[in-house]
Each structure stands twice: as structure tokens, then as C-alpha cells.
Structure 1
């Protein structure tokens, strides 16, 4: 019997690498998706002048993302079928490391215990599509550092990274589908 978490698929990478566009295309194709927690936290705290922003209080921002990701993981397990995640719990450990902050035991424990499919897709830095906006204040150099942090973090938690091609969204959707069908 396959592991129930095999149907939980993570797409990770640095900011501005096309993860969300891929997730949106998968959703448009009828797949269940979980949006990135970080953007939702940023929008909510910007709206009320809160402190849970990565440029104000990175540790609080990480805790708020963890709370959202814990809920999202539980909700995905409660439903049937494949669910694609725009980032996973290990991203929080990578984010904290990138910020030079320690990874609290409870974050590491969550990353070890709340599993996804072993194959994780990672979007490489892609200068041609990189943009900044009100929620994405990182520059391209930080996007590159984030990518490196994820390439180090996910294997530490037992995941195998598969790099997405720098290609159109439709080609990326096909790549993901082909890889998932081919890897069982």
C-alpha cells in the first residue's frame, strides 16, 4: 500500500522562479493546491500593520507560516487525491537558516514528521521572469541564496529534489505530470 503522503507534492525554490504560476496552472487543470503561506501572512499583516512580516520580525513570520502550513498539511491529508503545495514545511527551516536564525526544535520536528512525497520539485532562479512586488521585496541575489538554502534543506529532511526546467508554464506542467507518472 502506498504511503498516504505520496499524494502531497511540494514545489519549492526561490522567490520569482515561477512556482506560483505553476501552482495556478495545476489548479486550473483541476488539481487541488495549497497556496504559499508566506504571501498570505504578508498580505494579512500589511493590511493591519502587524509585525508578522519578514522585514520586521523574521522569527514571528516563520511561526505564522508554520501555523498556516500545519493547517494546510492536515487539510490536504483529510481530502482525497493529489494536492500540490506552493512550498512545504521544510521551506521554513530553510528560510530561518537563510536569515541566520536558529531552527527551533519544533520546526525541525514538524519538517521531519509531517511528510510529503519524497520527490520535491524545485524551481531554479530565473532572471528573465524574476520580478518584485509589494509582497516580494527580495532581490535576485536573495532569490539565488534562497534556492541554495532549499537545495541544502530538503535533502537534510530526506527529500529528493527534481529541478524544474526554465520553460513555459505549460511545459512545466507537462514535466511535473510526466515525472509523477514515471516515478509512481
Structure 2
């Protein structure tokens, strides 16, 4: 299981979709789906309403994704992972509950984590992605700090088109 992380609007999902077209299995991002569901049902576990509740739902989603991916033979590319929940809480200035940290330490991914760095040229906001440029940049920094603190190796993706990014990731997947 390989993680692709970074701030919002940095091309993570497009890259993972391209890798899926090339035959890799993937797990989707928790945040966007949770936001869509919460809006649809009138829930409050939203980043602009109750960030702690939103983080709890993300943790549940990421745990389920980890278990699903661990049962698959072959390489699975994850759109974020359990450590992203820790990073999100840090970014929001919220305490990281011990069970969240325990989950991040217990449920591990490949040591190599791909970071999509902030890229102003492709950053956009939408109905679910309401972070501004500063928050998007800060999210990337927090994810680097979080994954590094947990012992992962950060591999920063280059500022190139999605085809070239997919080639870059595939080469690194082959080497380790």
C-alpha cells in the first residue's frame, strides 16, 4: 500500500486515477466523500462545522480502506491514509487523540510516501474544497511533518503533467 498525500488541489486524485487506468488498484479519498454525504444528510461532521467529528469519520474511512487494501495482492495506491487524520487535526490546532495516534502507528503503509506539493498553477477551490491557498500550502507542510515523524520517507512529486507524474511514481514503485 502506497500513500499519495499533500494539500488539496495538488493533483493527487488525478494522479491516482491515471495510475488506475494503468492497472493499479486504488482507494479513494475519505474527505470529499464524507463532505458529500454529510451535506446530503444535513450532518455536522464537516470541516467548517465540527472538525473533530469530521476527523473521526475520516479515521473510520481510512481504517476500512487500510483493511480492504491489505487483503489485496498487489500494489494499492491510497488517496491519503491514517496519518493524514493526525495531520489534519494538527493543522486545525486540535489535539490528536491517543487512539488516532495508535492507529497511525499500528496500521502502516509502505515506507515511501508520495507527496503532491502545493502547485499554484493547478490549485482550485470547489464545493467540497474550500481551503484557500495558504491552508493548502500549510496542509502539505503538515503532512510532511506528520509522515516524517512516523518514520516514512517522503518522495516529492515533480511539477509535471499527470502522465509524467504517473511515470515518475511507477518508476519509484518498481524500485521499492
TM-score by length of 1: 0.94
Unaligned runs of 5+ in 2: none
Separation (CA, whole Å) in 2 of partners of 1:29 and 1:178? 13
Separation (CA, whole Å) in 2 of partners of 1:47 and 1:23? 26
Aligned ranges 1:122-161 → 2 under 5 Å: 122-161=115-154
Deviation at 1:24, TM superposition (A): 0.7
Q: Tell me if 1:20 matches 2:13.
A: yes
- 1:93 matched to which residue of 2? 86
Deviation at 1:72, TM superposition (A): 0.5
- 1:5 matched to which residue of 2? none
Q: Tell me if 1:116 matches 2:105.
A: no
Question: Match for 1:43 among 30, 36, 44?
Answer: 36
- 2:57 matched to which residue of 1? 64
Question: Match for 1:105 among 77, 98, 102?
Answer: 98
TM-score by length of 2: 0.99
Deviation at 1:78, TM superposition (A): 1.1
Q: What whole-Å deviation, never above 9, does each CA across 1:29-75 have from its counterpart, x for those lacking one? A: 11100000111100100111101111100000000000011011001
Q: RMSD across aligned C-alpha pairs, in angstroms?
A: 0.6
May I ask how many residue pairs the two structures share in their alignment? 176
Unaligned runs of 5+ in 1: 1-7
